[in-house]
Amino acid sequence: MDGLSASKMLQIRKVAMVRKLLYVVAPNPFKTMFLKKTSLLAVSGVCAFFASCANQKPAEDTLSKTEETYRNPYEPGSYDHFKAEKNYPKTYNVWTNTQLLPNTDQSNAQLRISLAKQRAFLMNGEEVVMDYPISSGTKSRPTPAGEYRILEKIVDKSSNSYGKILDAEGEVVNSNADVKNDPIPEGGKFVGAPMKYWMRLTWDGIGHHIGNVPRYPASHACIRGPRKVMPVIYSKLAVGTRVVIE
């Protein structure tokens, strides 16, 4: 026994343990047969079984979107499929529930806006009707989270605060002007930035309207929406409609 290696001794102990277990659970007539058939092969087979279970990889649809082998597991065209795409929520794409949209109107619609995802959701009850990209306020002029009601709707609206300043000849001298802080040259004028399909959320100037929608916060606290989407959203929401920003 002194000449046996440590690994050999460990194998012998494992065999002894398996034989003891089999002897306890086996009926009397079969104990001798169980003992004779117990071997190192049985032990190694049990170990291999547990090792194979421990090394199994997760199903492909549980892989991270960053994995090269990731495949969208959901049915194409479904909302789950849209959200499971690799470029969501950064995508410029819009998802629409074409069956529910005609049944969504000012009597049953509400709006949810996610600052983290930079996306907005037209809702009918708990169902998403449209999921579209937005651009909210920058860090210096953040869009405040909270629950709001639409206070005013104007199709053809221009900003009273932000826009461009022209000189007396009509040339642009400041394309990103704040009328409260930037001087207007003699004979010049301020032209407010267009904010079509305006839906006011606060009386201090925050609303939802058409605007440039980079995939990051870029506005002066308003929530900008895509040109092709906003007329639809505008038509589905009424003064008094609930809007949640989170």
Query: What is the pLDDT confidence band of residue 5, given thresholds at 50, 70 and 90?
Result: low
Query: Which residue matches tokens 């990051």?
Result: 216
- Same domain for 152 and 206, yes or no, is yes
Domain assignment present for residue 18? The answer is: yes
Which of 232 and 46 is assigned the larger pLDDT? 232
DSSP letters of the chain? Answer: -TTS-HHHHHHHHHHHHHHHHHHHHS-GGGHHHHHHH--HHHHHHHHHHHHHHHTPPPPGGGS-TTSTT----SPTTSHHHHHHSTTTTT----EE-TTTGGG--TTTEEEEEETTTTEEEEEETTEEEEEEE-B-B-SSSPPPPEEEE--EEESS-EEEEEEEEE-TTS-EEEEEEETTTS---TT-EEEEEE--SEEE--TTS-EEEE----SS--BSSSEEE-TTTHHHHHHH--TT-EEEE-
* pLDDT at 47 > cutoff 90: no
Both tokens of 29, joined, read 């007539």
Domain assignment present for residue 97? The answer is: yes
- Mean pLDDT across the stretch 58-81? 79
- Same domain for 46 and 111, yes or no, is no
- Same domain for 95 and 48, yes or no, is no
- Same domain for 35 and 98, yes or no, is no
Domain assignment present for residue 64? The answer is: no
Nearest one of 107, 142, 82 to 241, comparing CA atoms = 107
- Same domain for 128 and 214, yes or no, is yes
208: domain CATH number?
Answer: 2.40.440.10
- Same domain for 29 and 102, yes or no, is no
Note the pLDDT tens digit of each residue in 123-154.
Answer: 999 999 999 999 999 999 999 999 999 999 99
- Same domain for 199 and 146, yes or no, is yes
* pLDDT at 96 > cutoff 70: yes
- Same domain for 34 and 105, yes or no, is no
The DSSP bridge partners found for residue 238 are none
* pLDDT at 77 > cutoff 70: yes
Domain assignment present for residue 22? The answer is: yes
Domain assignment present for residue 93? The answer is: yes
- Same domain for 218 and 140, yes or no, is yes
Say how far apart CA 174 and CA 184 lie, in whole Å.
9
The CA-atom distances, in angstroms, between 232 and each of 15, 83, 173 are 74, 21, 35
Domain that holds residue 152: 89-157+195-245
Lowest mean pLDDT among 74-78, 164-168, 195-199, 230-234: 164-168
What domain count does the chain have? 2
The CA-atom distances, in angstroms, between 63 and each of 83, 85, 117, 172, 192 are 15, 12, 21, 52, 48
Domain assignment present for residue 168? The answer is: no
Domain assignment present for residue 82? The answer is: no
First-last CA distance in the chain? 72
Q: What is the mean pLDDT of the chain?
A: 83
Q: Residue 146 has what pLDDT?
A: 98
The CA-atom distances, in angstroms, between 205 and each of 33, 163, 198, 220 are 88, 14, 11, 9
- Same domain for 212 and 100, yes or no, is yes
Q: What percent of the chain has pLDDT over 90?
A: 63
Residue type, 149: R
Lowest mean pLDDT among 50-59, 82-91, 194-203: 50-59
Query: What is the pLDDT confidence band of residue 12, given thresholds at 50, 70 and 90?
Result: low
Domain assignment present for residue 67? The answer is: no
The CA-atom distances, in angstroms, between 19 and each of 32, 41, 206, 213, 217 are 10, 13, 77, 71, 68
Q: Residue 237 has what pLDDT?
A: 98
Rounded to two decimals, the pTM is 0.71
Note the pLDDT tens digit of each residue in 207-241.
Answer: 999 999 999 999 999 999 999 999 999 999 999 99
- Same domain for 210 and 118, yes or no, is yes
* pLDDT at 50 > cutoff 60: no
Both tokens of 149, joined, read 């009601």
Q: Residue 16 has what pLDDT?
A: 59
- Same domain for 119 and 215, yes or no, is yes
Q: Residue 28 has what pLDDT?
A: 52
